[in-house]
């Protein structure tokens, strides 16, 4: 069920976007393709010589699951009025907790970033094995770019989908005060402008 929230800014959650077994299948696929050595020595997270919080994982979801994810994403975007000249894309990612490179509050403002191909809607689908301690693994929501403006956390629950419009208000980030003892895999995606040639 899709639930609309307005605090501290409009966002949506969809519990059981994927069943536990479906999301666990993707979790296991992520684990299969992850280079564990480069994950632990951090080399997996370097891009252009700089360390990143997240890195992409390329895997095959299978037609049935891929189509389900895509269908439900379009169901959602249609529901809130994004129906023309748009397309969803998504991929799997993994996060690592780098104290020296934290994901501080930022808004992904579409009006500022659309020139770079960024999306107007952002989605995170949380994945897990059902046994890790997900305390503080969720997405933190803020009123401003200041960490002191923290308002709430979208809890990290495997199978749950978190969606928001990327605008000047949508400040979000992570703050792993409990550390990340496990693999924080997610499906992340965005709704972008499409053109007739794509």
Give the chain's mean pLDDT: 95
Q: What is the pLDDT of residue 196?
A: 55
Q: Read out DSSP for the chain?
A: -EEEE-SSS-EEEETTSS-HHHHHHHHHHHHHH--HHHHHTSGGGEETTEE-SEEEE-----HHHHHHHHHHHHHHHHHTT--SSEEEEEEEEEE---TTS----B---HHHHGGGT--SEEEEEE---S-S--TT-SEEEESSSSGGGEEEEE---TT-EEEEE-STT-EEE---TT---S-EEEEEEEEEE--TT-
Share of the chain above pLDDT 70, in %: 98
Segment 12-28 shows an average pLDDT of 97
Domain count, the chain: 1
196 within some domain? no
pTM exceeds 0.75 for this model: yes
What CATH number is given to the structural domain containing 54?
2.60.120.620
Q: What is the pLDDT of residues 46-57, one digit of tens each?
A: 988 899 999 999
Domain range enclosing 49 = 2-191
81 within some domain? yes
């Amino acid at each position: 069920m899709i639930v609309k929230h307005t605090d501290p800014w409009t966002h949506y959650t969809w519990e059981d976007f994927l069943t536990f077994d479906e999301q666990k299948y993707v979790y296991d696929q992520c684990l299969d393709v992850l280079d564990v050595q480069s994950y632990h020595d951090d080399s997996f997270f370097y891009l252009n010589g700089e360390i990143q919080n997240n890195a992409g994982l390329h895997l095959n979801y299978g037609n049935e699951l891929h189509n389900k994810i895509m269908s439900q994403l379009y169901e959602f975007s249609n529901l809130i009025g994004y129906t023309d000249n748009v397309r969803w894309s998504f991929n799997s990612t993994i996060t690592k907790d780098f104290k020296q490179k934290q994901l501080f509050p930022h808004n992904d403002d579409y009006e500022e970033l659309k020139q770079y191909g960024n999306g107007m809607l952002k989605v995170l689908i949380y994945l897990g094995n059902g046994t890790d301690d997900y305390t503080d693994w969720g997405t933190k929501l803020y009123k401003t770019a200041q960490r002191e403006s923290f308002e709430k956390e979208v809890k990290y629950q495997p199978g749950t989908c978190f969606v928001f419009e990327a605008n000047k208000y949508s400040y979000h980030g992570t703050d792993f005060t409990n550390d990340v003892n496990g693999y924080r895999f997610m499906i992340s995606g965005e709704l972008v402008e499409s053109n007739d040639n794509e």
